[in-house]
Amino acid sequence: MSKLVVISGGANNIGKGIAFGFLNEGWNVAIIDNNIEALKKIKEPNLFKFFGDVSNEDDIKKFYNELKIKYKRLDVIINNAAIGGFKNFFELTLNDWKKVIDVNLTGYFLMVKYGAPLMLDCPGKGSIINISSTRAIMSEPGNEAYSSSKAGILGLTHALANSLGPNIRVNAISPGWILHENEQVSEIEHKQHLVGRAGYIQDIFNLVLFLSENKSEFITGQNFVIDGGMTKKMTYI
């Protein structure tokens, strides 16, 4: 039976690209997303789609219950769902803060809490990949909630690697500027990167796939920055 990967926030951009990347590799793929219109636009018959909110515990339980019935296994979890919530710090309300943390961090916790038992019931070993951000380690004004949530993901990653090993490996990926679907940028914006271009969704998928397979079986608890070198570039104005 083909392996199963689940992807939160899989109806758009990086999540969608990862989903179709796995489909092209012959995997079974299931996504959960709270954007119903984006889900409806995806017509791929081999993709299991679930409308749900990752910060809602009942939605996560229902999602995994359906997967257990349909696939009877789980091999990889890709935590990707996120919201921005960028706002002037003095205008950031407690509800704004809580919403970002609930989706971007608590959602990852719930996806693992209810997915790991199904993964442990499967033959072989599992892999969890948490999509963080370079904003976990660098910021701009107005990033308080988002950067805190993404930094929290890094802590959650190495904690889970300790709790779930040796049968489940847990790693994080921190993307920098990754061009979304149909996004175009100027040549100057490309050339500011040390590699001469901004990132593509395929750049993220290439590492996700590697971390999902046995070739990476000695890697866990790590954070991989994919940013074209931008976090290593010193810039003064």
Residues with catalytic annotation? 146
Strands 126-131 and 76-79: parallel
| Structure-block tokens of residue 159 | 């904690």
Residues 34 and 77: their CA atoms lie apart, in Å, by 17
The owner of tokens 């789980």 is 74
Which contiguous run of DSSP H or E holds residue 64?
helix 57-70
Rg (CA), the chain: 17
Half-sphere exposure of 197 (CA within 13 A, CB side): 6
Within 8 A by CB and 6+ apart from 93, the residues are none
Within its chain, how far is the Cα of 170 from the centroid?
12
